[in-house]
Structure 1
Amino acid sequence: MPVALIWLIAALVFAGAEALTGDMFLLMLGGGALAASVSSWLLNWPVWADGAVFLIVSVLLLALVRPVVRRRLNSGKAPVMGIKALEGRKALVLDRVAHDEGRVKLDGQVWTARPLNEGDVYQPGQSVTVVHIDGATAMVFGSE
């Protein structure tokens, strides 16, 4: 079996094993094995030289490429989902919001609402900010 084919199989094994870990370490070793395979096929160097190519390319990929790829993949913050996404949004008062009553239109839907501070009262047409969602009730605070 040609040495280039053995390096190619090693590259595929590293890439396949990377799918199980997701750490980008084995993928960089796979890149080194692929480089060794190409150098063995094109240049017909001795096995020790292919090993040196594998080592050098793998170290370069680990040192230079892996940190950039990991930063790129992990840079996004998880999106805020569910009722937490509604907190901080503006709402329009539809019915008077007081201690025991009130409705607001929030993100296109009608919600029951209560003021954050017991004594506050908000009139229809007024804009408020949703501070917290408690069950199906929006706790609001005046924003004007």
Structure 2
Amino acid sequence: MGDWLAEHAWAIWFSAAVLLGLAELLSLDLVLVMLAAGALAGGLAALALPGLWWLHVLVAAVVATATLGLLRPTLLARVRSMPGYRSSVSALVGRAGRVTEPVDAVSGAVKVDGQIWSARSYDESMQIGVGTEVEVFELDGTVVVVYPRHQAIGES
């Protein structure tokens, strides 16, 4: 069994690379694909030098670390600067929610997409009662700025 593993270490590395690549499709975080690149490099090292398992591991670790540290930040910056990119938090803008604690110009709480958010009203003179359906106008740090959904902005 040990001889077979030593002779076919490349297959184990390549299988790990494929599994990590498939798992990346679920996470879309560009971490697992970098580990897959390391596993692929380890597999190539195993093909070239089959008996040196410590070298396979070293090559895989160096490539995974290098891609995580050098390539991933560059790719993430490029993705985040693409037109139309919205983070999960900025995607809240325009979403509907319901007031759980009265909302005024300073404080309040709303439930949006199943999560409770601190909130304040768009119009400083407006008070929005519990149960009112609201829409997220903008984000101010971790506070959502809302207005009643069935009322035009600026309408009293």
TM-score normalised over the length of structure 1: 0.52
Contact (CA 8 Å) 1:5, 1:37: kept in 2 or not?
A: yes
Higher strand share: 1
Aligned to 1:18: 24
What amino acid is aligned across from residue 35 of structure 1 in structure 2? A
Contact (CA 8 Å) 2:41, 2:60: kept in 1 or not?
A: yes
Deviations along 1:70-103, one digit per CA (max 9) or x if unpaired, are: 1111112428xxxxxxxxxxxxxxxxxxxxxxxx
Structure 1: 5+ residue stretches without partners: 80-144
Specify which of 29, 35, 54 is matched with residue 48 of structure 1.
54
Deviations along 1:36-92, one digit per CA (max 9) or x if unpaired, are: 00011012242121111111110000001001111111112428xxxxxxxxxxxxx
Aligned to 1:74: 80
Give the Cα–Cα distance (whole angstroms) in 1 for the partners of residues 80 and 66 of structure 2. 21
Counterparts of 1:1-144 in structure 2, within 5 Å, are 1=4, 2-78=8-84
SS at match of 1:78: coil
- Runs of 4 or more consecutive aligned structure 1 residues displaced over 3 Å after TM superposition: none
Contact (CA 8 Å) 2:38, 2:61: kept in 1 or not?
A: yes
Q: Which has the larger radius of gyration?
A: 1
Paired residues in the alignment total: 79
Superposition RMSD in Å:
1.4
User: Deviation of residue 14 (structure 1)?
Assistant: 0.5
Structure 2: 5+ residue stretches without partners: 86-156
Give the Cα–Cα distance (whole angstroms) in 2 for the partners of residues 74 and 59 of structure 1. 22
What amino acid is aligned across from residue 3 of structure 1 in structure 2? A
What amino acid is aligned across from residue 26 of structure 2 in structure 1? L
Contact (CA 8 Å) 1:39, 1:45: kept in 2 or not?
A: no
Identity of aligned residues (%): 32
